[in-house]
Structure 1
Amino acid sequence: MQFESRRAGVIAVKAGMMQDWDEYGARVPLTVLWIDECTVVRHKHQQRDGVTSLVLGCSAKRPKQLHPRQLGEYAAAGVTPKRKLWECKVTEDALLPAGTVIGAAHFKAGQYLDISGVTKGKGFAGVMKRWNFAGQNATHGNTKHHRAPGSIGGRTDPGKVWKGKKMPGHLGCERVTFKNIWVYKVDPARNLLFVRGQVPGPQGSFVYVRDAFRWKWAERQAAQLPFPTFLGEALPEVQVARSDRQDPYRVYREDVGYFEADWKGD
């Protein structure tokens, strides 16, 4: 695994949220991601396709819901029809043959991920909900304009509404990426990832998971991630990471000049 290497990601299903407690007794909010048969459908090469990437598929789909041309592509790859596809860019040394299954063992507890998804759609919303505007006065002559945006431009100069002005409109249904999400626990037997905090999208939606781009390379090497993916027969045990934060309950003793929790550990 070289410095410039870029591993494949996975397509996961947002199963819901839960909570757990770390070694300090602090509560950790968790999102559960289920990797449902994420399989490599085909791969692209720079010389032939102009890009080096893997086409991944997740979850099963009934053959009658697909065009015969699509069924032929799955049959040629030896893969069952998939419900969701995603083209994931990788480096040449991280290419995987068609039919390779990528599970939760592809990741390790304690590493960081970039997770992308489509946020919840909330319909047409006003400026107070969409852009957090404060609104206008509640009284002093204000009538039926308590939640209005106010002025949206000048008169003769500039004589128009500037492009990008924050206005009422459709809220949500946007592709966003949450960066540097910490992996609390990995369950390879059930193909589950437990990550700290929230991820975009409603429960049951698909999200796209891969190694964090801004994760320090030294830490990535120390984690010894399986490259290009986990190919062993026996699945590893459930992994739970130690907290990447300091003890939130330690107290600084000014009279002696040390943290009480550190002193107790000695």
Structure 2
Amino acid sequence: MRIGSLGIKIGMTQIFDIEKNIAIPITLIKVGPSIVTHIKTKEKDGYDAIQLGFGFILNNESSTYTKTNKPEKGHLQRSNVNSCSYLCEYRVQNSEEYSIGQIIDVGMFETGQFVDVIGKSIGKGFCGTVKRYNFGRGPMSHGSKNHRAPGSIGAGSTPGRVYPGKRMAGRKGGTQTTIKNLQIIKIHSEESVVAVHGAIPGKSGNLVNLVPSYKNYK
């Protein structure tokens, strides 16, 4: 049961550790702020959880954002939100500790903490077996007709079909990916930016989900 926050990947850079004389690759993530839009309780829903909204616009703010439909607007009215870009649910130990309309910002994280980052990996499009699964290629000499071909895909009359899950050409990337145990190197509270050690899924501008890692509790 780990409450996290949604954010946007800004990009990668590096910082230098003068004492160890090394360069540390980091990824900058703009985290939150998020607003509590819904609370689930064990008595009513069977479990305790809160729903956070990211990219929200309050009712007292003017906006031309038209993506939110009428059912979503009715759902967000209780939290004084006019529209919201993304919603995400997190399990909690006790939902009574939170209230509708409460703001969750970057202050929930701390330097040195380990987090898991969930995001959508970069799509590579339709790829062959060499790029998709690191297959070896055939001879490149003159006369060979098997440079990057996948080769045989199965037996003949027995079984007379291709087994499910056969590694063949197809779409690569563009799937949900989780990178675990990334340490927070620095936090810029004024800009709501978190710097984590290493790379995270997706390209710059992608939506990511940061949740505390189980490594913090070992």
TM-score of the two chains, using structure 2 as the length reference: 0.89
Question: Equivalent residue for 1:193?
Answer: 194
In the TM superposition, what whole-angstrom CA distance separates every residue of 1:186-206 from its partner, at most 9, and x where no partner exists?
Answer: 111211100011100111011
Q: What pairs up with 1:102-117 in 2 under 5 angstroms?
A: 102-117=104-119
* Matches of 1:65 and 1:154, distance apart in 2: 52
Question: Equivalent residue for 1:28?
Answer: 24
Question: Equivalent residue for 2:51?
Answer: 55
Q: What pairs up with 1:213-224 in 2 under 5 angstroms?
A: 213=214, 215-218=215-218
Question: Equivalent residue for 2:9?
Answer: 14
Q: What pairs up with 1:70-219 in 2 under 5 angstroms?
A: 70-92=72-94, 95-139=97-141, 141-143=143-145, 145-213=146-214, 215-218=215-218
Alpha carbons of structure 1 residues 199 and 110: separation in structure 2 relative to 1, 3 Å: same
* Matches of 1:95 and 1:33, distance apart in 2: 27
* Matches of 2:212 and 2:161, distance apart in 1: 45
Letter in 2 for 1:115: V
* Matches of 1:175 and 1:31, distance apart in 2: 18
Letter in 2 for 1:27: A
Look up the SS of the partner of 1:32 in the other structure. strand
Look up the SS of the partner of 1:136 in the other structure. coil
Look up the SS of the partner of 1:66 in the other structure. coil
Question: Equivalent residue for 2:42?
Answer: 46
The 8 Å contact of residues 40 and 95 in structure 2, kept in 1 or not, is answered as no
Look up the SS of the partner of 2:66 in the other structure. helix
The 8 Å contact of residues 2 and 90 in structure 2, kept in 1 or not, is answered as no
Aligned-residue sequence identity (percent) comes to: 31
* Matches of 1:47 and 1:97, distance apart in 2: 17
Report the Cα offset of residue 216 of structure 1: 4.7
Q: Which has the higher contact order (CA 8 A, sep 6+)?
A: 2
* Matches of 2:101 and 2:76, distance apart in 1: 10
The 8 Å contact of residues 44 and 52 in structure 1, kept in 2 or not, is answered as yes
Letter in 2 for 1:8: I
Alpha carbons of structure 1 residues 37 and 217: separation in structure 2 relative to 1, 3 Å: closer
* Matches of 2:129 and 2:106, distance apart in 1: 41
* Matches of 1:81 and 1:165, distance apart in 2: 44
In the TM superposition, what whole-angstrom CA distance separates every residue of 1:94-123 from its partner, at most 9, and x where no partner exists?
Answer: 852121211111111111101101111121
* Matches of 1:217 and 1:36, distance apart in 2: 24
Q: What pairs up with 1:209-248 in 2 under 5 angstroms?
A: 209-213=210-214, 215-218=215-218
* Matches of 1:28 and 1:112, distance apart in 2: 16
In the TM superposition, what whole-angstrom CA distance separates every residue of 1:208-230 from its partner, at most 9, and x where no partner exists?
Answer: 001002x0525xxxxxxxxxxxx
In our comparison, the structure showing a higher alpha carbon Rg is 1
State the aligned residue count: 211
* Matches of 1:121 and 1:138, distance apart in 2: 29
* Matches of 2:158 and 2:47, distance apart in 1: 48
TM-score of the two chains, using structure 1 as the length reference: 0.74
Report the Cα offset of residue 133 of structure 1: 0.9
Alpha carbons of structure 1 residues 112 and 67: separation in structure 2 relative to 1, 3 Å: same
